[in-house]
Chain A
């Protein structure tokens, strides 16, 4: 994966940071919004859950590393093309070329990535899913998360209120976030089928 590190194209630290922030902003709006679609599509070719996670992660990493990010505004088509290339490379390497895998890989590149009406509808279900995900957090991470995210309290205030140290609050908050990221990645089932 060494050749993918080209995104750090400059040695000037402030320019690096600016690139990182701009790239991250792009990544969140153009790429991560399509992560559920990517995962759903990859599932056609990769059945094993660990392999699926790896394929999605590798696809996202390559997407993040692209030098031409600013010109890419159709995240879905871009992600599908990357995933397809990864699948083909991996089939070449292992020499276990499953015909249906390649057929599915071709299939991957077909969708043009235009936002579907279903996506707009799906956005309305987001809030409900988010509430379910937050509800299922363990009590302390949930409390820390809600006090920070919804009530806008500082970590120090939260620590005082919960009778914990600030660093423990950070850990609860981190745990809540980790679980929300996973919940977000996993709820692609039914994303457009509902």
Chain B
């Protein structure tokens, strides 16, 4: 296990990574970097260490001073050499603050957003997304649910922040849903890294890997995970076809699901009805059809409620 080449390998890995930072190199040059990493696991490890150091240093960006004070603060922090650099960069303030774009869907609306890097966000009902691309592709899910199809870019991780959850992907697809204080993550392709983002501790927070077909829930600062059977996965993605799929949920849960998509709410007015279990696939924006199906198959009747809402009651 003795090897005097470790330093040489690290040096080469650093050079390859630095070359990869040059946006103007050719596809062949990039292929050479990949080939070098593939040639020997020690190369791959060294390259990963460099990439890891690079990503951790992202935290330095959070230390940026407000625009007016930045020259001064940087000078104090980094000394004279960097002060010169900062002064030179002063004309480029627009570079420093990535522009943030906000996307919204109303209740009942669905929207597919093409992101600048070729990634795609499929937004479900009542959702607010903020997209800020810099060295990291950062997306914040303020509300609602979205399925992300991430374009591959090893140099720029794709990170979705939702409440206290942080989901990081390279090239993969996954679903993030905010449900009250909890956040549900479902991976449909590839693998993602999950972390609980704690205030002030975003560097190196403990992470868990989640691969395709698995799901996790982050609540109260803790991650709990569960494998997801194919049927459950299909259920979670049904909204992308505008559908709600019920697989034996209680009527109370089913009504909650319909209410996410509609301004006309279903109000389950008695406990006996609420605990009935229902199944089937319904259009999310047609609660009336769901109610009619219920009335036909279950001891349930409906009655009009204020503001166009619908009461669900048991048949006496």
* A interface residues (Cβ-Cβ under 8 A, vs B): 4-5, 7-8, 16-18, 20-30, 32-33, 35, 50-51, 53-55, 57-58, 60-61, 64-65, 70, 72-73, 86, 90, 115, 119-120, 122-124, 126-127, 130-131, 134-135, 139-140, 142-143, 145-156, 161, 166, 170-171, 173-175, 177-178, 180-182, 184-185
Q: Give B1-53 interface residues, CB cut-off 8 Å to A.
A: 1-3, 6, 10-11, 14-15, 17-19, 21-24, 34, 37-38, 40-42, 44-53
Is B201 touching A123 in the complex (CB atoms < 8 A)?
yes
Q: Can you list 25 A-B contacts with CB-CB less than 8 angstroms, sorted by A residue number?
A: A5-B40, A21-B152, A24-B48, A24-B51, A26-B193, A28-B52, A54-B6, A57-B3, A61-B42, A64-B45, A86-B1, A122-B204, A123-B204, A126-B59, A127-B59, A134-B78, A135-B77, A146-B78, A149-B54, A153-B95, A155-B21, A155-B24, A178-B50, A184-B56, A185-B49
Query: Is B249's CB within 8 Å of the partner chain A?
Result: no
Is A151 touching B63 in the complex (CB atoms < 8 A)?
no
Given A152-B135, A171-B15, answer yes or no on A28-B55 (Cβ-Cβ < 8 Å).
yes
For the side of the interface on B, what is the size category? 35 or more
Shortest beta-carbon distance from A182 to chain B in Å: 8
* B interface residues (Cβ-Cβ under 8 A, vs A): 1-3, 6, 10-11, 14-15, 17-19, 21-24, 34, 37-38, 40-42, 44-61, 63-64, 77-79, 81-82, 84-86, 88-89, 92, 95-96, 134-135, 152, 154, 168-172, 190-191, 193, 198, 200-209, 211
Main secondary structure of the interface of A (DSSP, over half): helix
Complex alpha-carbon distance, A107 and B292, angstroms: 66
Taking CB atoms, residues of chain B closer than 8 Å to A156 are 22, 24
Is A27 touching B45 in the complex (CB atoms < 8 A)?
yes
Taking CB atoms, residues of chain A closer than 8 Å to B2 are 50-51, 54
Is B50 touching A177 in the complex (CB atoms < 8 A)?
yes
Taking CB atoms, residues of chain B closer than 8 Å to A20 are 34, 37-38, 44
Given A155-B21, A174-B18, answer yes or no on A70-B191 (Cβ-Cβ < 8 Å).
yes
Complex alpha-carbon distance, A35 and B48, angstroms: 12
Shortest beta-carbon distance from A133 to chain B in Å: 9
